[in-house]
A and B are shown apart, each in its own frame.
Chain A
Amino acid sequence: MGTKTDKQGREIVEIRYEMAIPGTFATGPIMGHMLNKLKDKELWGNRCGKCQNVLFPPKIVCPKCFEEPTEWVKLDDWGYIATFDVVHFPTINPLTGIMREVPYTTLIVALPNGGGFFHFCLENDPEKLAPGKKVIPVWKDKREGRPSDLEGWVLEEGQ
């Protein structure tokens, strides 16, 4: 129990506590296949047999055709910046409960053969970033089959 006063000097009585909610999420076979492959530093998406679009992260149905994807595709390990966000306002990482260090950058990576996804960009200078620039992944040494197996994406040399 902590107490403080309002502007008029009246006591405000509050109860303080922190909430921790441990969670475990089943991936299912499709996301599970892709996440498992991250351990081998490989990006796998699935392809819709109708529109030929590659979905990454993979999905159970193509959001455009509503058809079940027909095959797994190993993706090139590079992409283009679709858009980016250099964030200067710290927020809590909901998976760790720890305040993020700023600045940090998120981006949408567009894959050369279709599709796009959110991830981190390791370059925080907006002057150096632009839609269309080529980025490559940086992998963590220790990988456990989750999105953070990728440290993030960096500009390819010469970009």
Chain B
Amino acid sequence: MTKRMRNVAISGIGQTRHRGHREDVNMVELVSEAVEAVLEDSKMDLKDIDCIVHGNMELFEGVHQPDMWHVLGDGAYGKAGFRITTGGTTGATIVCSADHLVASGMYDSVLAIGWEKQEEGMTTTGITNMADPLWEREIQTGAITGTHGVMMMNKFGEPANQAAAEFRVLMADNARKNYKAHLRIEITRKDVLASRVLAWPLRLLHMCPESNGACAILFVSEKLAKKLPQKPVWMHDHVTVHRQETFDLVNMGDLDTHGEAARVLYARNGILDPMKQVGVFEMYDPQSWWALDWLGKFLMLENGEQIEMILNGDFAIDGKFPVNPSGGVVSSNPIGATAIIRVAEAALQIRGNAGEHQVPKDVNLAMSTGFGGTFWTVLHLLGAEKPDK
């Protein structure tokens, strides 16, 4: 594990029900729903929280420094506050930041909040504005890309096509068990493969929705965790890797930021066999073709073994290695909240009170990831026991 000044625990989790339409509330009210939920879950009084870390993708709604506006909804009035905005990884980076703020001894309690109200604004316009304005902005078309699918098809052929579709079906099956998920649809592999092409071989049902939602997690010191009622989930480690400006566009395999993050995390934490040692994995899967490729990268499967595993049902809630019992990002994607939801869901699985989508076993270690536009990976490791034990 990495060097820690002191242990940090997750002692509270709150989420909205993620939806395509939330015209009934404004942004401040949406955020406050998650904050009220985390206070209820942790039994913590807002006045005892030291610091708020807040983040989303501000170009999506077009509100600059929304944390200023949200002060009355997120509870930040009179407290220390930080704003984090690192694209798709925002929610994951908020978690890194909150962890550091408590681990350093700076604060005993930090509330991390990620949120997005995608119906207010233009997501793709926001994404394309991240490309450099001197060359790529004129060409950039956002997250709707089939290039990974093209590469997987070239390498593995039709089994890859079947596995990407089957993984989407699994996510839908899981999402139907999670009442907070946005898309809780009943679909078959055939439905996925018959849905319309967005960018071949990427189809509509492979792709995540645009959701509205917020998620808040309370991070506390060990001393405070012992006083709070929820079973603490301990932060073990996290790794961030990104390399937009330095990769070789021609050899796309070179941009394996996931594999690099996994290698570092496993080496630091004595993980030799992730599928044996880690109980559950909440992976940021914005589309099922990426999921298919990335499972291989995070799990160090060099020959496409994940294809067979998907078709075998190994990643199901009661399978050999459960992935995204929550239904994943293809079921709910309020982007600034999406990566913190992965951490929240991983923590719920360790606590054992995820509800209907709880995996049927004790989870000792869980991993979660975030991914964003600049080929940016954040990988978290959480545990039921303290990292120094």
> Which A residues fall within an 8 A CB radius of B?
4, 6, 10, 12, 14, 19, 23, 25, 27, 31, 35, 57, 59, 63-64, 82-89, 91-95, 100, 106, 108, 110, 115-120, 126, 131, 146-148
Q: Is A91 touching B23 in the complex (CB atoms < 8 A)?
A: no
Complex CA–CA separation, A100 to B139 (angstroms): 11
Which residues of A sit under 8 angstroms from B196, Cβ to Cβ?
88
Given A25-B134, A31-B135, A63-B245, A87:B141 Cβ within 8 A? yes
Can you show 5 pairs from A to B with CB atoms below 8 A apart? A83-B150, A89-B144, A91-B128, A117-B249, A118-B139
Given A92-B124, A118-B140, A108:B249 Cβ within 8 A? yes
Size category of the B interface is: 35 or more
Closest to A152 in B: B139
Question: Which B residues, 342 to 373, have Cβ-Cβ distances below 8 Å to chain A?
Answer: none
Complex CA–CA separation, A59 to B141 (angstroms): 23
Q: Is A57 touching B135 in the complex (CB atoms < 8 A)?
A: yes
Given A14-B23, A85-B147, A95:B137 Cβ within 8 A? yes
Q: Is B250 touching A12 in the complex (CB atoms < 8 A)?
A: no
> Which B residues fall within an 8 A CB radius of A?
21, 23-24, 62, 122, 124-125, 128-129, 133-142, 144-147, 150-151, 154, 196-200, 245-250, 252
Complex CA–CA separation, A25 to B137 (angstroms): 12
Contact of B137 among A6, A35, A82, A94 (CB under 8 A): A94
Q: Is B135 touching A147 in the complex (CB atoms < 8 A)?
A: yes
For residue A140, give the distance in angstroms from its CB to the closest CB of chain B: 12
Q: Is A147 touching B147 in the complex (CB atoms < 8 A)?
A: no
For residue B200, give the distance in angstroms from its CB to the closest CB of chain A: 5
For residue A100, give the distance in angstroms from its CB to the closest CB of chain B: 8
Q: Given A88-B197, A118-B249, list of 11 further CB < 8 A pairs?
A: A12-B23, A83-B147, A83-B252, A85-B147, A87-B144, A91-B125, A116-B248, A118-B136, A131-B154, A146-B138, A147-B138
Question: Which of A12, A88, A100, A108 counts the most B-chain CB atoms under 10 A from its CB?
Answer: A88
Which residues of A sit under 8 angstroms from B154, Cβ to Cβ?
131
8 nearest A-B residue pairs (beta carbon): A63-B246, A116-B250, A116-B249, A91-B124, A89-B198, A94-B128, A110-B250, A25-B133
